Chain A
Amino acid sequence: MHLVEAAPGEFLVSGEVDAHSSESFATALAAAGEQSEAVIVDMGGVTFMDSSGLRVLVEAQQRAEAGGASLVLRTPSRQITRLLDLAGLTENFQIDAPA
């Protein structure tokens, strides 16, 4: 898993997010929302994610919300969209997907 902050509050994530990489994912997102009204997590480069990644995203969403910001998931793959749906979390996030 790789994560870079492309712009203030905008993160590009790539690779696989699972129990092995989720701590790195969480650490990288830890400061998200502190200086932005919206936290954008671009998931377009994520090739796999399981519930370990959901935990990180829920934590980040709650942290952003507590700071008055929102969390946007941009271009999640079909696998991630399906995972969010199965886990009942689709409504937790603002999802920015291509039309």
Chain B
Amino acid sequence: MQDSGHPSNRAAPGFDLRAPADTAELSEIRRRVRAYVTDAGGGDDIADDLELVVSELATNVIEHTTSATLTIRLEKTLDAWILDVADVDDLSILDHVELPDRSEVTGRGLFVVASLVDDVRIVDDDGRHAVRCSRHVARVP
């Protein structure tokens, strides 16, 4: 699934983060996401969930794409938290998001992401593809 454009009904200024596509950056990325959520009025539940979502998606970009850079964008609109993680070069990444058998060792990350947000899709941002997750502000964790 692809889409384009940015949310425009911002409730709080968003933040953008570019970092090397390196797992050593994950901790700082999560810290920045939590700080933004807290500053934008989110509680621990949403902070925990968006930390997990960004960690899974950033790891996916690092381990499964050729991108040398991670680009993270997070903003709170009037009705949703919008998280973009780029660059994604495999546009079929979301085609089969299923929970594997309990005996399988890997393959749970994207299923967990899909469980924590209300919508997840690939968006086209000036030729750069990102995974965009949206979570309603009013969602009960």
Residues of chain A touching chain B, judged by Cβ–Cβ distance below 8 Å, are 16, 18-20, 48, 50-52, 54-55, 58-59, 62, 78-79, 82-83, 86-89, 91-92
Contacts of B26 in A (CB 8 A): 18-20
A-B residue pairs, 5 tightest by C-beta: A20-B23, A51-B109, A19-B59, A19-B23, A87-B108
The residue that A86 contacts in the complex, of B51, B55, B106, B115, with Cβ under 8 A, is B115
| Cβ contact within 8 Å between B56 and A50 | yes
Of the A-B pairs whose beta carbons lie under 8 Å apart in the complex, a sample of 8, sorted by A's number, is A16-B27, A18-B59, A19-B26, A48-B30, A48-B51, A51-B109, A78-B48, A88-B102
| Cβ contact within 8 Å between A20 and B103 | no
Interface membership of chain B positions 94-116, coded 1 if the CB is closer than 8 angstroms to chain A and 0 otherwise: 00000100111110110110011
| Cβ contact within 8 Å between A87 and B99 | yes
Total of A-B residue pairs, C-beta within 8 Å: 63
| Cβ contact within 8 Å between B63 and A19 | yes
Consensus secondary structure, chain B interface: helix
Q: Least Cβ distance of B11 to chain A in Å?
A: 25
- Centre residue among A20, A78, A83, A91 by max chain B CB count within 10 A: A20
The answer, yes or no, to whether B52 is at the interface (CB within 8 Å) is yes
Size bracket, chain B contacts = 20 to 34
The answer, yes or no, to whether B138 is at the interface (CB within 8 Å) is no
**Distance in angstroms between the alpha carbons of A59 and B105 in the assembled complex:** 6
Query: Whose C-beta in chain A lies nearest to the C-beta of B101?
Result: A88
Interface positions, chain B 59-108, Cβ under 8 Å from A, are: 59, 62-63, 99, 102-106, 108
**Distance in angstroms between the alpha carbons of A58 and B108 in the assembled complex:** 12
Query: Whose C-beta in chain A lies nearest to the C-beta of B58?
Result: A19
Interface membership of chain B positions 39-52, coded 1 if the CB is closer than 8 angstroms to chain A and 0 otherwise: 00000000010011
Q: Least Cβ distance of A4 to chain B in Å?
A: 20
